A and B are shown apart, each in its own frame.
Chain A
Amino acid sequence: MTGDFPVALILIAGGLLVPVLGLRMRAVLTLLLPVAAFVCVLAVPEGTHAQVEFLGAQLSLMRVDRLSLLFSYVFLLATFLAAIYALHEDDSMQQAATLLYAGSALGAVFAGDLLTLFIFLEIAAVSSAVLVWARRTKESFRAGMRYLAVQLAAGMLVLAGIAVRAAEGYGLAFDHIGLNGPGAWLILLGLGIKCAFPLLHNWLQDAYPEATATGTVVLSAFTTKLGIYALARGFAGTELLIYVGTAMAAFPIFYAVIENDLRRVLAYSMNNQLGFMVVGVGIGSELALNGAVAHAFADILFKGLLFMSMGAVLLRAGTVKGSELGGLYKSMPWTTGFCIVGAASISAFTLFSGLITKSMIMSAAAGEGYIMVWQVLLFASAGVFHHAGIKIPYFAFFSHDSGIRCKEAPPSMLIAMGGAAALCIGIGCAPGLFYQLLPYAVTYAPYSPTHILDQLQLLVFSALAFAVLMRTGIYPPELKSVNLDTDWTYRRLLPAIWGAMERGYRYAADAMWSMLQPPLRGIIRSIRTAHQPGGLMAKTWTTGGTALWMMVLLLAYLITYLA
């Protein structure tokens, strides 16, 4: 295969075809297309292919190197697992949106220039919003609108950045960008929204938990990881990102502890894991970059697995609110087991995927001497075990028995969760094999006795802290609630300011009217008197009177002429 065929088109064309197919064919298509695309990706040689002229610009749709290949593998894996997961349901809107979204994510990964990247980011933004709307509730519609607005704004920032850079003479190349001008800053800001940088993060926690069981699983795989991919390509070694990432890793875990909606807890936890990746990109050494992209790969699988298990709970128990759940291990033992595998992976337990990827970033931070950053990341590591590793399985499946007795998840969901769980354990058990996929050669050894012992101590004592706080009653109970986050600014503050401005305008307009009314009335009255029937201006004049006035006028003219 020459590589001149853009692989993304396989999924995108499939997505466009889905709505006109029957139920059986749709299911087959969603399963087969990621496999077909994967075969194509394997056959494509490294290099830049599929170059086309568009509006006078040279675009390259297939830049194949180790970095883009790694992300394409995991994106296709996630698409395939999500297709299995959704086999029990029949929703052509969701299937079409999933294929379009996954296809555009693949297109963005293989984009060799910034314009192609932008175009695919925009298709991804719109198709992913459809995934939020596929829940078909009032809340999901509103959340989807907010999500779309934020995503399109991010896209506009990227486009503005591209335009400014082109004007600065940098061209459209999508290689290392670095912070070398206003264009680069605009692109970084746009990508920062996609990566959920602190204060730009809240679209994620707002929209993801409002999607369907499958929708959230699909959403969790692509947009944020595309952001990480683009940062790794364009902004590796940008020191600012180290501090941005550190803040990202630390602050969402406080929210995760008090959040009641367990899928929203996972969304906060996603923010925290993205923070680790951003730190890795910011450090920019080969070890750190390997760690960042490896962690993105692992995160797609274990976060997908955790979202899948919560999706199964949503389907069977009808809710994922911690305050309503508990004791579900009795009804859903398999889901419980898979959820625990996901929890162990995100917490970086020995022999699970998170350990061999996150520790590369930690080691790189320590190796470069970032003491404070390293300490905050260690705090975030303990915290992630606390809120994602323990809280999620504990409140959903154990805790006090809620009395809910439901069926185990359907076989399609169980198979998908089983596949994801097997990959999480496989990556953790065979790091050497996995490391071969990474962009740079790996010399790092994750399983040193020191590291194993350190990590186990950290995790066991985090668990003990949870147990002690639980048994002493200090741990905050799960309460029906929402917690204010930055979305408050555009869901409450801005509407309130707008409302106040509207009221202020109306008040000012009223005041001005009442002030102007008396003189205006007077003017109107005098005009009316002059023009009404019988008024001075509406009167018909006699011929004699008019002739007299003409004479006066001519006389006046004569006098002024002679004078």
Chain B
Amino acid sequence: MKGNDKRYWLDDPGNVTGLYRGLWILGILLLLCDLFLHKHEDFDFAGWPFFYGFYGFLACVALVITAKGLRRLLMRGENYYDR
């Protein structure tokens, strides 16, 4: 089919690393916005600077590590139910 040997922009690991760094820069910029925007939150703790950034990051790390642990308990072979 088309483009079997075509090089795509994302095929270059350097570009992927560039995207990754760009994402960090975006994240840090968003954190800095917290210092300048006067926020109206429903709960006091949600008004702490960087709350949402940290919550999102930690929530996802906790989610993935817990889920990875659950694999030991729950994972079976693909044909488990086929007997």
Contacts and interface: CB of A to CB of B under 8 A. Distances in A.
A329 B30 CA distance: 29
* 5 nearest CB pairs, A to B: A366-B42, A465-B60, A257-B67, A461-B56, A457-B52
21 contacts: A254-B63, A254-B66, A255-B70, A366-B43, A371-B43, A382-B55, A386-B63, A450-B39, A461-B56, A462-B60, A465-B56, A466-B60, A467-B23, A469-B60, A474-B68, A476-B64, A476-B68, A482-B76, A482-B78, A483-B71, A484-B74
B27 A450 contact: no
Nearest to B70: A254
A322 B77 CA distance: 15
B15 to A, nearest CB: 12
Nearest to A368: B42
Given A471-B20, A481-B78, A453 B34 contact: yes
Contacts of B3: 330-331, 405
Interface residues of B, number: 51
A302 to B, nearest CB: 20
B56 A462 contact: yes
A460 B26 contact: yes
A374 interface: yes
Nearest to B6: A330
A127 B23 CA distance: 47
A479 interface: yes
Interface string A362-375: 01001100010010
A453 B30 contact: yes
Interface of A: 253-255, 257-258, 329-331, 363, 366-367, 371, 374, 378-379, 382-383, 386, 398, 401, 405-407, 448-450, 453-469, 471, 474-476, 479-485, 491-492
Given A379-B59, A482-B76, A482-B77, A406 B1 contact: yes
Contacts of B34: 453, 457
By DSSP majority rule, is chain B's interface helix, strand, loop, or mixed? Answer: helix
Contacts of B59: 378-379, 382-383, 462, 465
Contacts of A465: 56-61, 64
B29 to A, nearest CB: 9
Given A382-B55, A406-B1, A465-B56, 16 more contacts: A254-B66, A258-B70, A366-B42, A379-B59, A450-B40, A453-B33, A453-B39, A454-B41, A456-B30, A457-B34, A460-B30, A461-B52, A469-B60, A481-B77, A483-B74, A483-B75
B75 A458 contact: no
A329 B26 CA distance: 24
A5 B26 CA distance: 56
A448 B42 CA distance: 13
A383 B60 contact: yes
Nearest to A485: B74
Given A254-B70, A481-B76, A464 B4 contact: no
Given A383-B60, A480-B78, A483-B74, A378 B67 contact: no
Given A331-B1, A450-B37, A453-B39, A386 B20 contact: no
A481 B76 CA distance: 6
B10 to A, nearest CB: 7
* Centre residue among A258, A401, A406, A469 by max chain B CB count within 10 A: A258
B79 to A, nearest CB: 8
A253 B68 CA distance: 12
A405 B1 contact: yes
Contacts of B73: 484
Given A258-B68, A450-B37, A491 B57 contact: no
Nearest to A481: B75
B80 A482 contact: yes
A381 B59 CA distance: 10
Nearest to A367: B42
A306 to B, nearest CB: 19
B28 to A, nearest CB: 10
B37 A386 contact: no
A465 B81 CA distance: 34
B20 A467 contact: yes
B11 to A, nearest CB: 8
A27 to B, nearest CB: 28
Interface in B29-51: 30-31, 33-34, 37, 39-43, 46, 50
B42 A382 contact: no
A476 B63 CA distance: 11
A363 B42 contact: yes
A448 B6 CA distance: 44
A401 B16 CA distance: 14
Contact of B63 (A330, A383, A454, A460): A383
Nearest to B52: A457
A491 B64 contact: no
A461 B40 contact: no
A465 B61 CA distance: 6
B74 to A, nearest CB: 4
Nearest to B42: A366
Nearest to B38: A450
A460 B53 contact: yes
Contact of B43 (A374, A405, A406): A374
Contacts of A257: 63-64, 67-68
A460 B27 contact: yes
Given A448-B40, A465-B64, A483-B76, A457 B56 contact: yes
